Each structure stands twice: as structure tokens, then as C-alpha cells.
Chains A and B, each alone.
Chain A
Amino acid sequence: MTAEATTEAPREPEQKPAERETLLTAFQRNLWASNGVTVTTLSIFLAVVIGAVLIVLSDSAVLAKFAYFTARPGDALGSSWDLISAAYSDLLKGAFGDPEAISAWFSGTGSWQDALGPISETLTYAAPLVFTGLSVALAFRGGLFNIGAQGQAVLGAVTAGVAGFSFGLPIGLNLVIALIVGALGGALWGFLPGLLKARTGAHEVITTIMLNYTAALFLSWLVIQQGIQQPGRSDAISKAVDSSAQLPSFGGALRVHLGIVIAVLVTAGVAWLLNRSAFGFELRAVGANPHAARTAGISVAKTYALLMAVAGGLAGLGGATQVLGTAHALTPAVAGNIGFDGLLVALLGRNRPWGTLFAALLFGALRAGGNRMQSYSGISLELVTVLQALIVIFIAAPALVKAIFRLRTARAAGQSASPAKG
């Protein structure tokens, strides 16, 4: 993210050569201007600070030391610092790797699986979020608020899962078919509200929320049907996906699978679609102003229907990665919360494809680190949810961040919020 800031900095003088800024002053000026990168970084920082306060508040032993703060402040401050630093260092170790495990790997006493495990977890959690995030982001660029990513992901998981254990195709083909079927399932679930919007003007927020419920209840019903339910089990779990239809993974503690690679490729594809293709131009035009787009000869109805189908397909792929990559069987909660987290990821990524990818990686890292934080420091995993929510709240209210840090208004208004490049 800082890399982006530095690359943006030298671009400024070119645009306004009259000012003759040095690189350094341009960088400084941009650093404290309220551009997207600065606001994002400061939002994360604020969330971390509030999180630290919450960590202290939730620990009764440390809190008790504050009762005699005036008598011996060192106790309270010291133990607070210990607690916060332990929590956040576990968060970082769980997300990116434990220096001890890495040095053990280099010195030959530890295994590379242990050293790379945290990164693997981060990527595992990030993969489905990339897809659902892209789904929301793409729809948003076309002026549609796709709350239905959850339902589309559920349907994608259902179709991909059923395809994964039903067809018994040879290795490779089975996986490709399952992924395609997963995307189609999600696309269908996105196409319906798109069509309703195009034909009847029904608001997509309402229809997609309703379809979320439909998808979730359909899944709960489906997994206990004969032929779907795992033989010998009375609880709600489907047959396992054939190993030939599972996304290849290192196995063992390294759960990361091919899904993250596909996610990067799909991000590139969406960036191309949005910025280089005719459809991308149309959807951006419709998103900016549907009336103007109609006047210009773009079929708004067709764009809405197609856009929702594509967005649904992306979310469906997210559900498919979840079932083919990590869960390997359908259960009522197989899709977890990836659709709704996708909304946050898209917001954080400012509805740009690569931004969404990085936001998903950040959420994946928080999730993976949160697991370690809970396990090692005993701090509730819910704190991670709070951190995620706080980051998004600050991002969604840039005026708040600006006021707190007294940032100057960026010169070219909206320059960073919606640049031409993805």
C-alpha cells in the first residue's frame, strides 16, 4: 500500500509542472492528503488502536490493575502493554508466519510446513473472499448493490458440491466441470434479481436478500435428502466431493489450495472486463448514469441482467472454492459468511478489482491471525470481527478519519476514489 503511495507521488509533478515540486515534498503532500491509500492505512491504524482498548477492557485481570492506577501506574500500563503486544504479535504470527518457526526451518530443526502454515491459512481464508468481493464490487460499478453474494455463493457451493460427487469424471476434467457448474449456479441466482430489475424494476437489494434466505434454506433441505446425504450419517452432511474434483492442495497442515491462484487470475479477468471490454464500458456508463447511458444507446435492462449474472457467477465461484477447496462436503453452514464478508471486502477495496484482492488478503490475514490469537493468547475471535467492522466503518466514513488526523482535502477530488485504472 505504501508502494502505491510512492508510485503515485511522482505522477503529480508531471500533471502540474508549474509547481515544480521536489519528489519529497510531493510525497509528503500526498501522504497527508486525504487520498484513498492514506485513509485506508489510517483506518486500519484506528481500528487497531480501538481494538487494543477492547483487548484491555475484556481482560479482567489487567482491568483490576487499573483500580490502583494512581498508586502504581507501572502495573497497569505494563500488563496492558504485555497483553496488547502478545495479542497483536500472535495476530501477525498467525497471519504471516512465526519467526521462530521460520528460523527453525532454516536451521533444519523445524519443518517447512510449520513455517509456511500461517501464510497458507491466510491465503485459504482469502480465496473465497476474493470471489465474493469481486462479485459485489463489479455489481457496484454498474450501479447495483448486490447483497445477494451470500445466496449466490451458497448456490455455487451446492451445484459445485453436487457436481463434485455425482459425475465421477476423470481427474482434472472433474474439477473444471465442478467449478464451471458452481459458477453457473451462482450466475443463475444472480441472473434472477437482475432480470427482475431489468423487466419489472424490482429493487435488487430486496430481491437478493430474499434469495439469500431461499438459497440457505434450500441447502439445509438438500443435504438431508437421500442420494445427497452421506450414507451412515443422520446429521446434515452431504457425501464428500471426489478427490478428483477437489482443488489441489499441499495437504496436511498446509490447507492452501489452487483456489487462490484462480482468484488472482479471475481478478485480472475482472479488471480487463471492467476497463478494457465493451461490456465493462457499458456497465460503467450505466453505473454512472443510467439515463445518460440509455440516451447514448446502451440497453440498460440488458446490462443489468448480464451484470448480475456475471456477479452471481463470481460469487458462485467463491462458494465452489469453499466446498471444493476446504470443506469437501456440503453442510448447512458450508459457505460460512463469505458473501457478507464479500460486501466488506469490496467496500474496503473501493470496488476496484485489485483493491478487492488486497482487501480479501487483509481479511484472510486477520482471520488466520485471529485463530492463533484465540488459541495462544485466549482472546476471543470476535475481536477480529470487530477489527474488520471498524476498518470498514472508518473507510466508509472518510470524513471522520480526515477530521481525526486533520488531513487536507486531496487536490484532484475523487482522484483516488475512482481512478480509471483498476
Chain B
Amino acid sequence: MEKESVLRPVRGKRIVAILAAGGLTLAAAACGDAPADTPSGSSSSAATTAAYKACMVTDTGGIDDKSFNASAWAGLQAAKAEVSGIDPKYVSSSSEADYEPGLRSFVTQKCNFILAVGGLMGDVTKKVSDEAKDSQFGIVDSGSTGANVYPMQFATHQAAFLAGYLAAGYSKSGTVGTYGGMKIAPVTIFMDGFADGVAYYNTKKGKTVKVVGWDKAKQNGTFADSFIDQNKGKTITNTLVSQGADVVLPVAGGTGLGTAQVAKDSAGKVSVIWVDQDGCKSAAQYCDVFLSTVVKNVEEAVKEAAVNGAKGTALAATPGYLGTLENDGVGLAPYNQFDSKVDAGLKTEIDQLKKDIIAGTVKVESANAPK
């Protein structure tokens, strides 16, 4: 006790000194002028009265995956910009165990549109939507599981076919590579289309460009088992490059950023075809290595669904939404910085190929395509 009473005042002074110093710094930073009082209350209440709550549950990639979760969220933001009554919100899932609580919590909050992002959420969405018949659900990359589930699917193999053709035509080493984030249909459909595009180039030109990382016939290849692990992406890409690949298509969300880093370090030897959103917009720091992007227009599909829902148009479970080359739901992004490096002849061939696929004269098939 004796000792404490001696210590106390000293300690007290020190605390006061620290608080004072902290307070001064804060005060210095806090000297700004107050903004004019705007009647913000009335405008926000006007918005909430007609609010159409669009709520999305991300998959484990999280909201900032620079890939399809980000696209879906951008879609909801775009919908909000178009129809002011739309009130978007999201929860991110840190593991698959979070899918169900996330969806259920939005049911409890009486969201008008509950969006499940990712085919992995198919089973859970079915379970929750079957119990909450009054709620409108939407799901990306999965078929509909009930009248209240609006499916948004993409014939991504069509666009990936073009990317395969482009990669084969652009490659100098005669080997191109791809890998996936996880062995699920929405991923392997890219790889199928890519491999077929290369094969089509070979038959047409009599070349033997090789694909490493995916075997379409055996449906087997290289997977990172992660949509976030950039180091894994680097390791896999280095392996593909050592096998001779000079164009790589990572179908792995954030993991693919590792590939972009490897390409950047290679000083022009390796280039990357990005997926989902135009790489020069979603991962602009790597724009100089992106040959092109296999665009899967999740953003547009989600925006359309939310806008239609807010306007009161029914979201019919059948046929739902299917993105194709024809409706620009999938496609090849601009070549951006590679525009001058890609041969003009190759560009015309790709444009023609696109028309042929839309017309049906060139058939693109994949076992992983949405049925």
C-alpha cells in the first residue's frame, strides 16, 4: 500500500501528460469548419420510404476480390445509380459456413432481393429459398432451384474460346497455360472454352500450340484451391512458365493477381488474359500485362435484375438470365495496351469467329456449360 501511494501521483501525471499531448494533436486536426447544415434528414427519409432492399451475400472471395463478387456489388451500385430507391447492402462470407446465416439474416430483414453470389451457394440457397417462399432470391452461376430463385448464368465458354484463339495466335513459344481457382463448373467452363479455342486455331492454321494446366478430355488440370491466395498463384504461374507458357489465363479471382505479378516481373515475356471484369479497370496496376480479358458481365446481369425488381417486373425463374456473346453477357474486352502488339489479321479473325459463334456455324461446347 505504501509503495502504491507513492507511485500513484507520478503515474497519474504521466497519464495526464499523455492525454494532453494526444488531445492537442487531435485538437489540431479537429479545427476544420463545420459544413453548412443541410436538411439531410428529409432527403434520406424520402429514399427509405420507397426503398427496395437489394442484399447480397458474397462467397469466400469477399467483396474486394477484383472479380465476380466485386462485379456483382458494382452491379447493385449501378442499379442504385439508375433507380434511386434501391438500397444495396452486403455481407461477406469468410467460410462456407457463413452462407446460410447470411442468407437467413437477409430474409429476417425482409430484403426485397437476396442475391447469392456463386454456384457454391446453390444448395444453401435452395434450402433457404424453399423455406422463405415470399422472398425473391437471385443466384449467380447456378441454375434455378425454385420459382423464387432468379438464376444468372453465363455461356463463358464462348468468350473463352475467343481468348484461346487469341492466346494461340499471340503466343511466341507455342505453349499457353491456364489454371483454376477451384474445380467447379463456373471455373472449368473458362478452361474448356480456352482449350477448345486453341485447338480450333491449331486445326485452322495447322499449328501445334500446346495448352498446359488443363486437359479438357480428362477434365483435369491445375487448381489453386483458393480465390485469394496470390502466392499460390505465383507458384503455379512459375510452373506453367517453366513448361513454356507465355500466355496465361488464371481463372481464380484474387489468386490470379499472383500471375499478373509474375508477368510484370518477366518484363514482357509473359502476358496474362484476365477474367470476369476488364483487368485494366479492376486491377489497373497490372494493365500493362493484360493481353485481354474474358469478360463475364456479372455486373450488367445483376444491375438488370435489381432494376427490374425495383420497378416491379417479375423476375421469372425460367428461363432466367443467360449471358452469351450475342447479348454481350460474355465477351472479350479491348486489348488496351496490347492493341498495337496484336496482329491486325488476328484481330479480324477473332471478330469473324465471334460472328460465327453467334450464328452457330462454329459450335462451342462444354460439359460445364449451364444447362
Contact = CB atoms under 8 A, between A and B. Distances in A.
A326 B107 CA distance: 19
A68 B34 contact: yes
Given A252-B131, A375-B91, A331 B96 contact: yes
Interface stretch (B22-30, B284-292, B334-342): B22-30
B32 A68 contact: yes
A179 to B, nearest CB: 20
Interface in B312-371: 368
Contact of B30 (A70, A114, A117, A224): A70
Contacts of A368: 101
B30 A68 contact: yes
B102 interface: yes
Nearest to B108: A114
A381 B95 CA distance: 12
A407 B88 CA distance: 48
B188 A70 contact: no
A69 interface: yes
Contact of B106 (A72, A121, A375, A378): A375
B31 interface: yes
Interface in B225-248: 225
B105 interface: yes
Interface residues of B, number: 38
Contacts of B34: 68, 71-72, 75
Interface residues of A, number: 35
A121 B55 CA distance: 21
B184 interface: yes
B183 interface: yes
Given A68-B32, A71-B33, A255 B100 contact: yes
Contacts, number: 83
B95 A333 contact: yes
Nearest to B55: A375
For B30, B100, B219, which residue has the most chain A Cβ atoms within 10 angstroms?
A: B30
Contacts of B29: 66-67
B108 to A, nearest CB: 7
Contact of A67 (B32, B94, B95, B97): B32
Interface string B68-94: 000000000000000000000101101
A68 B26 CA distance: 11
A336 B97 contact: yes
Interface in A55-108: 66-72, 75
Contacts of A117: 104, 108
A381 B102 CA distance: 11
B283 interface: no
A71 B34 CA distance: 6
Contacts of A224: 183
18 contacts: A67-B32, A69-B30, A70-B27, A70-B30, A72-B34, A117-B108, A224-B183, A234-B183, A235-B184, A236-B183, A236-B225, A326-B97, A327-B97, A371-B98, A371-B105, A375-B105, A375-B106, A380-B92
Interface of A: 66-72, 75, 114, 117, 121, 220, 224, 234-236, 252-253, 255, 326-327, 331-333, 336, 368, 371-372, 374-376, 378, 380-381, 406
